[in-house]
Amino acid sequence: MLHKHYYILLIISFIALGSCKQKKEDILELPSNTSEALNLKYAEGFTITDNQNFKVVEIKNPWPKADKTYKYVLISKENIAKTSFLKDEYDGIIITPVTKIVVTSTTHIPALELLDKTETLVGFPGTDYVSSKQTRQRIDNGQVKELGKNEGLNTEVLLNLNPDLVIGFGVDGTSKSLNTVKKANIPVIYNGDWVEKSPLAKAEWIKLFGAIFNKQQQADSIFNTIESNYNKAKQLAKTVTKKPTVISGALYKDVWYLPSGTSTEAQLLKDANLDYLYANTNASGSLSLSFEAVFEKAKQANLWISPSYYNSLQSLENANAHYTNFEAFKTKSVFSFTNTVGPTGGVLYYETGFARPDLVLKDLIKIGHPELLNDYETYFFKPLK
């Protein structure tokens, strides 16, 4: 009798064990010590932590002096059904891979194209500013809806599109349109690539898109190629000893705005082995100077790069006849990206410049040291005519 009772207990124990095992399979336990941070070489504005069954994205600097870190969960459809998160702990739960997306800046377009995810874009504010051939074709075919202006998105159209995710762009986080989107339970990630302090840091934001689309390896490979191209060009520029002097910017009303020595623009000029005359300045934003101050310092500069929005030497002269007194104007050594545009007038630099700093750097090397890149044709910058 005791022997029989023992086997009954044993059978009950196995049944109970099987029941417990099944329960554990149904309810996903959040791992505690298995998280691994994505290796970022340059970018400081975001982090991605891999927790095996889900990832956590933190956006630290979506705009200057941001006082909040935004946290998002990236998780598959299969795992979300078995997992619960504290709602107040995260700013959004995003099902990956994202299949329908809205982005709000042309600087976001290249990441979609480089990762072969152009087909996921369903809406964009200001479609005329998009220059890319792939995305323009989708716009022209009616596959990407016009969403008005970034400052005031057409939320009615956007909500009807019901995207999985909106990549936002903001200067202070007070966008009423994006707040409306969030209230409709559509996640909004603020992209802060423009706040980064170096050209390669801005380009590294492609890794965020890689995580969104479950294409981390492809994003890593793309960035590694861009980084390698950039560093090779930088090393090539170091082989010359003569450094042409450079001036930048132009007057807006009575103020001459030009890049600070701590800006990414100044970093690019330095890496191209050019002597930017304001390289030693230190300011959080652009420098604001008088015409007289700039003329005194830069009238003999060899090159004038990015003279604001002017697209010809004649337009510069028409704006202010004193521009003609600069040596760079006299020698027609004025270069700008404003004339490299797409079919509807979108400036290509504003779309692709962040994503491809290697091409920007090569352009600057070609301008300042043309003998180093004999067979290279500038991608963005062209001489003003």
Strands (E), the chain: 36-37, 46-50, 54-59, 70-76, 92-96, 101-103, 121-124, 145-146, 148-149, 152-153, 165-168, 188-190, 245-248, 250-252, 255-258, 275-276, 287-289, 303-305, 334-336, 382-383
Mean pLDDT rounded to a whole number for the chain: 89
Q: What is the pLDDT of residues 196-209, one digit of tens each?
A: 999 999 999 999 99
Q: Is residue 22 predicted with pLDDT exceeding 50?
A: no
Q: Please name each of the domains of the chain with its CATH number.
A: 36-226 (3.40.50.1980), 238-383 (3.40.50.1980)
The Cα diameter of the chain in Å comes to 113
Query: In percent, how much of the chain has pLDDT > 70?
Result: 90
pTM for the complete prediction? 0.88
